[in-house]
């Protein structure tokens, strides 16, 4: 999952951070080849740019180099270039990189090229990693896979139990370093306006407050979709969606689908997103655009980038995205707030399923410095280091880091971290398949077909399920 943040992009060239060395003092191959018990002179890290919070990781790597005397070189690439680079390096069985940033959907394709971390974790001091400090749902989705059957989901657990993971035939393949989840940013100034509060209560017979369900969310979106200039043109809309044929479209639909208790596949990897729950989810999603018209007219061209722009400009009352969107200072009286993606009331229990996706740091199977690489991964994901990531707005993966965020001086950032942590605890990850990109695209197409009025929801989803079934057979499932 790409994380959209307004940070300075790092160039495709390597960012090299060495203790007492200049950028040009790149370590030689001889420097990086060491025995298992010998501390290496250098470690090389292949990492993402803003998608996985490169600023925070580069800062931590520099501190690690200063503490250990090990030269750390961090090479950063934007998402598509990084994916290409990771797959290429591993396919060539190259020992150039020791530690690698891994987006969760890549794991089924590259797991045979990764070094399992379980033995390293067991050999370390129990207090060293503090396994149970990770958010369990994010950790299990990001890090725990079965080598010969990576499509299988690990056992569910609220507290991470290493013995149970191993006895179930699973291993730990990375440590979570960044987790993105769908959250909602909203115009708190509009919600707090006394006139809006009075008018909403009169119309809906309840208080204007953060919505808990999709139905409540729609009511608020309809209420705020209006002509504020009295010129006959709607200039404020209730919400954003991401309707373009794009990965953003797929995970948008998947979030609605999870709310309704549905899923992309069943336990046997048969596509089931075209069942009754899937149709209801897609029709609900589409009705916001075509029936209730609570989204801006360009919504079928939106991905996470456009959503951030539209929300920032004050054109919508609420907006969904994978980072903390903020209002432009030019928006008069604007005040931002955040809340967890709403769910569906299932007999008094609100079911929520915001999509989430995490980045992990894993060890290349071909590294000559596996023990040292594990120690660096442990450091980069450690409780104290993750607390330091808060100043970079990093989407941390440890409970203690979220506890630390409660003491932040910035009330807006404090609120966002509270919502982010709560959202991760109920989030739903991606299918664990080798052909994820193909399956995502197939669903994107039929969702867009429905949204653009080419097909009804049932027909579109049936066609999509048939296409996905063919893709799965071709992939050997």
Model confidence pLDDT, tens digit, residues 389-405? 999 999 999 999 999 99
| Residues sharing a CB contact under 8 Å with residue 427, sequence separation 6 or more, in sequence order | 137, 138, 181, 182, 353, 354, 355, 356
- When pLDDT is cut at 50, 70 and 90, the band that residue 125 belongs to is confident
Count of beta carbons in the 10 Å neighbourhood of residue 90: 21
Distance between CA atoms of residues 396 and 402, nearest Å: 7
Full-model pTM: 0.91
What's the mean per-residue pLDDT of the chain? 92
Residue-wise pLDDT for 171-185, tens only, equals 999 999 999 999 999
- When pLDDT is cut at 50, 70 and 90, the band that residue 126 belongs to is low
Residue in this structure with the two tokens 């504020």, named with its chain if needed: 228
- The pLDDT value recorded for residue 37 is 62
| Maximum C-alpha span of the chain | 75
- The pLDDT value recorded for residue 36 is 54
- Predicted confidence (pLDDT) at residue 25 exceeds the cutoff of 60: no
Residue-wise pLDDT for 216-253, tens only, equals 999 999 999 999 888 888 999 999 999 999 999 999 99
- The pLDDT value recorded for residue 75 is 97
Orientation angle between helical segments 276-290 and 214-224, nearest 10 degrees: 10
């Amino acid at each position: 999952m790409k994380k959209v943040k307004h940070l300075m992009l790092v160039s495709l060239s390597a960012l090299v951070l060495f203790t007492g060395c200049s950028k040009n003092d790149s370590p030689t191959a001889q420097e990086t080849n060491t025995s298992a018990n010998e501390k290496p002179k250098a470690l090389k890290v292949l990492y993402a740019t803003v998608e996985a919070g490169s600023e925070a990781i580069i800062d931590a790597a520099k501190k690690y180099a200063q503490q250990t005397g090990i030269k750390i070189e961090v090479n950063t690439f934007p998402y598509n270039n990084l994916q290409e680079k990771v797959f290429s390096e591993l396919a060539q069985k190259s020992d150039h990189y020791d530690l690698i940033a891994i987006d969760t959907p890549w794991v089924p394709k590259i797991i045979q090229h990764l070094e399992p971390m379980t033995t390293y974790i067991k050999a370390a001091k129990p207090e060293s990693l503090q396994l149970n400090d990770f958010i369990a749902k994010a950790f299990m989705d990001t890090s725990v896979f079965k080598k010969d059957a990576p499509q299988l989901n690990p056992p569910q657990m609220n507290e991470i139990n290493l013995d149970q993971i191993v006895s179930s035939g699973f291993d730990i393949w990375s440590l979570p370093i960044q987790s993105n989840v769908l959250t909602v940013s909203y115009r708190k100034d509009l919600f707090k306006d006394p006139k809006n509060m009075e008018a909403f209560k009169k119309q809906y017979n309840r208080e204007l407050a953060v919505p808990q369900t999709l139905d409540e969310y729609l009511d608020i979106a309809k209420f705020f979709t209006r002509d504020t200039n009295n010129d006959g043109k709607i200039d404020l809309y209730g919400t954003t969606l991401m309707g373009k044929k794009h990965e953003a479209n797929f995970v948008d639909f998947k979030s609605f689908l999870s709310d309704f208790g549905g899923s992309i596949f069943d336990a046997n990897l048969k596509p089931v997103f075209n069942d009754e729950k899937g149709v209801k989810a897609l029709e609900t999603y589409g009705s916001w655009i075509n029936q209730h018209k609570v989204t801006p007219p360009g919504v079928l061209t939106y991905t996470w980038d456009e959503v951030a722009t539209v929300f920032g400009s004050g054109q919508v009352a609420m907006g969904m995205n994978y980072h903390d969107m903020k209002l432009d200072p030019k928006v008069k009286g604007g005040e931002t707030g955040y809340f967890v993606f709403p769910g569906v009331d299932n007999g008094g229990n609100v079911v929520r399923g915001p999509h989430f996706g995490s980045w992990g740091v894993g060890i290349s199977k071909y590294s000559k410095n596996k023990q040292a690489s594990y120690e660096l991964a442990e450091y980069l994901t450690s409780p104290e280091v993750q607390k330091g990531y808060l100043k970079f707005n990093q989407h941390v993966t440890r409970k203690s880091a979220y506890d630390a965020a409660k003491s932040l001086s910035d009330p807006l950032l404090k609120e966002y971290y509270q919502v982010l942590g709560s959202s991760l605890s109920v989030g739903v990850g991606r299918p664990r398949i080798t052909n994820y990109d193909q399956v995502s695209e197939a669903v994107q197409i039929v969702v867009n077909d429905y949204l653009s009025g080419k097909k009804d929801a049932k027909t579109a989803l049936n066609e999509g399920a048939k296409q996905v079934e063919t893709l799965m057979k071709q992939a050997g499932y």
